[in-house]
Amino acid sequence: MSGEALAEELKNIQKRYRHAVFSLDIFVRDSLKGIDRRRGEIVAALTDLRALPHISKKALASLKDGSPLDPNADDADDDLKPIIMKALAENLRIVEPHSRMLLEMSIAYASALFDGLVSDVLLTIFRHVPEALRSGRTLTTAEVLGFPSREDLIEELARRETLELAYKSAEAQFSYFQRAFNVDVFDSQPDVTIADLAAVRERRNLIIHNNGLANAFYIAKYCPAGSIGDPVIVNAESAESDREILRKIGMALMFSFTVKFAPSENS
């Protein structure tokens, strides 16, 4: 396949990734605003209700036609205030963790986008430049003869190589890029490091496997001032920082591989 075809595929991969991470950031910001608005509405309602002596069924019914709530519309014999207060308090308890849940999900999704980008780039490179498959992987004669074409064989070898690499650490993955392709992704992005990526991935793993809470390994390696059991995503700013680290490294990866295999795109 031509270098132009490879360049076009890499360009499309980059375009999809940029669109996805931008959409994720907008979704997170808009959703946080919605959560804050809902929380504020509940808190305001609780504040207003606490100032009322009681709320009868008749007084509550007056709200249906848009009339102001009149606490004196009936006596307190059928007071609904305790029930309503309890329901609102329970609603507030349900809403409180939504921000943290959203931020943790954003890190998990941003990590999935990044991992997908790495896989897409590698598969594309291997398909267009099969000589880049230098792992020393072997196949039996029977396996080779089972593929209907050379392209199918290359596709399977590329898939195996990419899948194996996907389960390696960040350090091992980027060492592979340096060794196999002579590509140093961080040359083009000095603002972030492999240690930054490793830390984000560890937080993602804790979100998925440990309810988003720090364990002893994380505290020892990444957060010595913290404590075991602390949330690893503490606020919107820390989540945004992690997503930005992934975005920067993802774009640097695209730039580095494009320069290496499709330099005309950057000329």
Note whether 140 and 58 are same-domain residues. no
Q: Look at residue 140 and tell me if it is in a domain.
A: yes
Q: Look at residue 130 and tell me if it is in a domain.
A: yes
Note whether 176 and 60 are same-domain residues. no
Cα separation, 262 vs 260, in Å, equals: 6
Cβ atoms within 10 Å of 226's Cβ, excluding its own? 14
Higher-scoring residue by pLDDT: 61, 172: 172
Cα separation, 3 vs 264, in Å, equals: 9
Q: How confident is the model at residue 163 (pLDDT cuts 50, 70, 90)?
A: confident
Note whether 111 and 155 are same-domain residues. yes
Q: Look at residue 230 and tell me if it is in a domain.
A: yes
Cα separation, 199 vs 221, in Å, equals: 9
Note whether 200 and 237 are same-domain residues. yes
Q: Look at residue 137 and tell me if it is in a domain.
A: yes
| Cα three-residue angle 247-251-252, rounded to 5 degrees | 115
- Domain with 64, as residue range(s), is 52-96
- Locus of tokens 């980027």: 174
Average pLDDT over residues 115-123: 94
Q: Look at residue 44 and tell me if it is in a domain.
A: no
Contact predicate 42/98, CB 8 Å: no
Number of independent structural domains in the chain: 2
3-state secondary structure of 155: helix
- Locus of tokens 């980008």: 117
Note whether 92 and 104 are same-domain residues. no
Read off the pLDDT of residues 179-191 as tens digits, 9 standing for 90 and up: 888 999 999 888 9
Average pLDDT over residues 231-249: 96
Q: How confident is the model at residue 92 (pLDDT cuts 50, 70, 90)?
A: very high
Lookup: tokens for 18: 């940029």
Q: How confident is the model at residue 76 (pLDDT cuts 50, 70, 90)?
A: low
> Would the pLDDT of 237 be above 80?
yes
> Would the pLDDT of 32 be above 90?
yes
